[in-house]
A = this chain, B = another copy of it.
Amino acid sequence: MRNIKIVIEYDGTKYKGWQRLGDSDNTVQHKIETVLSKMAGENIEITASGRTDAGVHATNQVANFRIDAEMPTHKMRSYCYEYLPDDIVVKTVEEVDLNFHARYNAKVKKYVYNICNNKAHNVFNRKYEYHIPQPLNVEKMRKAAGYLIGEHDFQSFTTLKTKKKSTVRNIYTINIVNEDGNVEISIQGNGFMKNMVRLIVGTLVEVGLGERPADGINDILDKKERKYSGHIAPAKGLFLEEVNY
């Protein structure tokens, strides 16, 4: 029995997310498992660092799986490259210690969200960024983001319904860069709940548009109810960029 770690890049545009509860085959996980199982001649199940929602992309999603076959890792990589659709690429394949677990061992995750803040959208990036034609006040957005840094109960920033699990997370950094109207928001933290990054972005955008005050963030956190945060920014602008172990 071997434990294999893979790093995956995917364009989430046409998928129902990494994994879907239900019977859809149109998920990134299902595509990869089908190819790996055919390659191995055994049923392969993969575990990712976390799910990404429908339409969300990844430049470096991490996953692992157990396999009996003795195939060298570079052959696994080229097999995946040959048989996966062209919107999913397994970038690296590496044999790791048997106790490595892509989800449980993940320490820091980094997401990047792209906004096009020009009057007209860019035709080449239109599937990968959120177009906001009205001018954003990035300084105010940075100020608002400051209130989210650190350990907080992020219940107001998730659509997760469970009352059982902790909704406390730690956000380490939020960087917002504006280059000629290309606004990139990078968020690092120890974990993110369902729609958390997109709700943070949607709320920051409303601050940037002057629809809510930057110092209202504390109040949203205190309320611990999703209805107090902003809109859910579209999936297409979101990328899972890095998972650290």
Contacts and interface: CB of A to CB of B under 8 A. Distances in A.
Interface of A: 9-11, 57, 59, 81, 86-89, 91, 119-124, 126, 128
B120 A124 contact: no
Q: Does more than half of chain A's interface fall in helix, strand or loop, or is it mixed?
A: loop
Contacts of A126: 11, 86-87
The 9 closest A-B pairs by CB, nearest first: A11-B123, A89-B120, A87-B123, A9-B123, A89-B123, A86-B126, A81-B120, A11-B124, A10-B123
Contacts of A10: 123
Contact of A88 (B59, B88, B123): B123
A173 B81 CA distance: 37
B122 A9 contact: yes
A159 to B, nearest CB: 26
Contacts of A120: 81, 89, 91
Contacts of A86: 121, 123, 126
A9 B121 CA distance: 10
Interface centre among A89, A91, A123 (most CB of B within 10 A): A123
Contacts of A122: 9, 89
A237 to B, nearest CB: 12
Contacts of A11: 123-124, 126
A88 B120 CA distance: 10
Given A9-B124, A57-B124, 7 more contacts: A11-B124, A11-B126, A59-B124, A81-B119, A81-B120, A87-B126, A89-B120
